[in-house]
Amino acid sequence: MSLRPQLVRTWRSDALGITTSAFTWHDLARIWQTPGEGEAFFERQLAQTADEQAGAFELFGVPHDEAVALASRVDQTMADCILALYRSAVDVGREWAPAFCDIPAPGLALVATQDPFGSVAITTAAAEQAGARTATLHGAGHWWMLQQPVAAAAVLEEFWAEP
């Protein structure tokens, strides 16, 4: 983003903590980042029924109907994309942090207080470092957009409405 900041009107992140040196990847990410282990993980996942996969999504806070819909779309292409993404971002704190300090456009860090994959303190510190505002979604987790869609939309619309 910072290579052509004139193209960015605003930016928003729900994972801004990844741009700090204090960030460490969660257990699932470390599995996905490990050749062989990531493939084995998804082989097991893809062997499960959609209902079994939906149950796993529900454990992370995805509402039932959305978990079923999401699970029905998990396939090898998605698995390959997840593995490629996480393997491209092993050292994000060191590699990405400088870019988030150079964006002149207003930024917003969404902080979901119940996200098991993030840290409120690290995200808040990263927002301060990047010069971004924070908006807290109390009681929401990693899947905040499905758990609190009305509240999240209101926060985003308020942010985008600012001059």
Query: What ranges do the domains of the chain cover?
Result: 5-24+92-161, 28-87
**CATH topology assigned to domain 5-24+92-161:** Rossmann fold (3.40.50)
Q: What is the pLDDT of residue 121?
A: 93
Are 132 and 87 contacting, i.e. CB atoms less than 8 angstroms apart? no
The structure tokens listed for 35 are 């050749």
To the nearest 5 percent, what fractions of the chain are helix, strand and coil? 55, 10, 35
pTM: 0.83
The structure tokens listed for 118 are 């993030």
Interval 115-129: pLDDT, tens? 999 899 999 998 998
